[in-house]
Amino acid sequence: MKKAVLTIAIILSAVIALFGCGSPRNKSVPIDAYLLRELSNLATTIDVSDYNISAEEFDKVINDFLENNTDIFYIGNAYEYTQIDDAVDVVTLQYTDTPENIKVRYRQIREGIELSVYELLYSELSAYADEIDLSAYKIPPSDMELLFKGFLSVHTKLYYVDSELEFVYSNGIVGVIYPHYISDKVPPPQPTDSPTPPPSEQPQSSEAPPPTQKPPAPETLTLEELLVREIESYAKSIDISSYAIYESELSDVYFGFMDEHPELFYAQGRVSYSEDSSGKITIVYPFYSAEPDVITVQRREFEAAVDAAVAAIPVGLTDAEKVVAVSDYLCVNATYDLTYEHRFAYDILVLGIGVCNGYADAYNVILSRLGIESFKLISIGMNHAWTMVKINGEWYHCDATWNDPTPDVGNVYHSYILLPDDVMSDNRHNHYGWVETAPPADDYTYVDAYWITESSPINFG
């Protein structure tokens, strides 16, 4: 009974102290209460030297603490500490998300809000809502712009939503936001009596050099083959009228295709289209990120970066070891972009910076070159993307983003590699809300693998 009372007292103290300024460290405070206060304040380091606790004792304390405080979901499954005379001195923590996202999710859990802010945004923006009430989420105005940019960095299907938005707030809390869409009707249709858009509405891109021989007719190609061929030649318009794709399907079809082809990073941002009177799409107009000569250079840089990543993976590894080695490579050579400006595989592999969408895409590109099947998995509720990989006929979850500490301190974690569904979704790993159509991951072969506790790149020798 005393333990239950103490737990209630600890939780109440966290509500009062959440995200405020903590009081000075005091060894008279129970270590559970001290940890809860510091974690509620999102401390990146915690000094526990006053408690004179061994490493083995501390591991048990932190494990028991996380089991008893499931709302402290955001420290991941990895931490490090320094020791003095066999006693733990300073603990360094890895958080699983940015502070503004953690705050919103924490308040949602505390107040029992049914939808996460990301689920609400996705639902409302998919319906082109003119205004969205976010007052229940108690988001400070200073966090709103970055939170919204972070949301859009994951959801490329919402390409028609501008990252700029207006909002009103009172008493330090955002109330209603007013999204901006790219045009009055989104996506913008072209006149059905003319397959070519007016010059002012055509994508700003130079013509690609004419092919040296006549390409195959669209009827002989799958839609995927046609889109790859045309986008790789920087086509301004692509006739897909023979494939019977309707307006309601376009976003899923086109951006589902893009998810499977992260090497087409230069055409990932937007698409416009024409439709006939029945709503069937006749022509799509890709939007390119730069002029063809610039993109050509970027493509060469990207291919060189992928080749370098593949060459860095030692020969003779098992497929599981390759998956681990690729995660290590990404974590060592990239850092999480707290501005949400860099979203694609090119950004991770060439520029060394990006968000979860870029980590997942880069992971898939490298694994594909290594002959390992994988795909990107998205959770709307988490506003997050990670990777599923297939080894020996079994599917597993891998999250290179959460294996890479933020801020980047040079460490590499292995807490989110080759996990089954129920481990990936437990209180320690806290992934949830991925699409129901994902294949089941129910194999436990690697949950106790030796690399799980390592905080440096694995040396496979």
Do residues 278 and 324 both lie within one domain? no
Report the b/e string of 303-321 with b at 16+ CB within 10 A: eebbeebbeebeeeeebbb
Do residues 111 and 173 both lie within one domain? yes
Q: Cα–Cα–Cα angle for 378, 383, 389, nearest 5°?
A: 30
Say if residues 385 and 377 touch (Cβ distance below 8 Å). yes
d(CA 424, CA 430): 6
Do residues 275 and 314 both lie within one domain? no
Residue 461 placed within a domain: no
Which of 2-11, 18-27, 45-54, 395-404 reaches the highest mean pLDDT?
395-404
User: At what angle are helices 247-260 and 223-232 packed, to 10 degrees?
Assistant: 70
Q: End of a domain among 235, 259, 286?
A: 286
Q: End of a domain among 259, 286, 313?
A: 286
Do residues 305 and 346 both lie within one domain? yes
| Residue 8 φ/ψ, nearest 5 degrees | -60, -40
Residue 249 placed within a domain: yes
Higher-pLDDT residue of 128 and 94 is 128
Reply yes or no on whether the pLDDT at 120 is more than 70: yes
Do residues 337 and 396 both lie within one domain? yes
Q: What percent of the chain has pLDDT over 70?
A: 79
Do residues 157 and 241 both lie within one domain? no
Reply yes or no on whether the pLDDT at 300 is more than 50: yes
Residue 460 placed within a domain: no
Mean pLDDT within 238-256: 87
Q: pLDDT at position 315, please?
A: 93
Say if residues 287 and 269 touch (Cβ distance below 8 Å). yes
Q: pLDDT at position 108, please?
A: 64
Q: pLDDT at position 262, please?
A: 92
Q: pLDDT at position 13, please?
A: 39
- Cα distances (angstroms) measured from residue 41 to each of 22, 46, 336: 7, 11, 21
Look up the domain containing 114 and give its range.
99-181
Do residues 310 and 445 both lie within one domain? yes
DSSP state for residue 24 in the 8-state scheme: P
- pTM here is 0.71
Q: How many domains does the chain have?
A: 4
Reply yes or no on whether the pLDDT at 208 is more than 70: no
Higher-pLDDT residue of 274 and 421 is 421
Number of C-beta neighbours around residue 92 at 10 A: 17
Question: What residues does 426 pair with on adjacent strands?
Answer: none
Higher-pLDDT residue of 432 and 373 is 373
d(CA 54, CA 60): 10
Residue 22 placed within a domain: yes
Give per-residue pLDDT as tens, 31-89: 887 887 777 777 778 888 888 888 888 888 887 887 777 667 666 656 778 888 888 88
Do residues 373 and 305 both lie within one domain? yes
Mean pLDDT within 375-396: 94
Mean pLDDT within 349-363: 95
Mean pLDDT of the chain: 81
Residue 426 C-beta-side C-alpha neighbours within 13 Å: 11
Do residues 219 and 299 both lie within one domain? no
For 457, the token pair is 């790149």
Mean pLDDT within 232-250: 89
Q: How sure is the predictor about 106, in pLDDT bands with cuts at 50, 70 and 90?
A: low
Q: How sure is the predictor about 401, in pLDDT bands with cuts at 50, 70 and 90?
A: very high
Judging by beta carbons within 10 Å of its beta carbon (0-12, 13-18, 19+), is residue 63 exposed, middle or buried?
exposed
Q: Assign residue 154 the CATH number of its domain.
A: 3.30.1370
Residue 459 placed within a domain: no
Mean pLDDT within 98-109: 67
Q: End of a domain among 64, 93, 122?
A: 93
| Residue 160 φ/ψ, nearest 5 degrees | -85, 0
HEC sequence for 278-339: CCEEEEEEECCCCCHHHHHHHHHHHHHHHHHHHHCCCCCCCHHHHHHHHHHHHHHHCEECCC
Reply yes or no on whether the pLDDT at 271 is more than 80: yes
Do residues 404 and 362 both lie within one domain? yes
Residue 14 placed within a domain: yes
Do residues 420 and 318 both lie within one domain? yes
Q: pLDDT at position 111, please?
A: 63
Do residues 265 and 306 both lie within one domain? no
Residue 309 placed within a domain: yes
Give per-residue pLDDT as tens, 175-198: 999 999 875 333 444 444 444 444
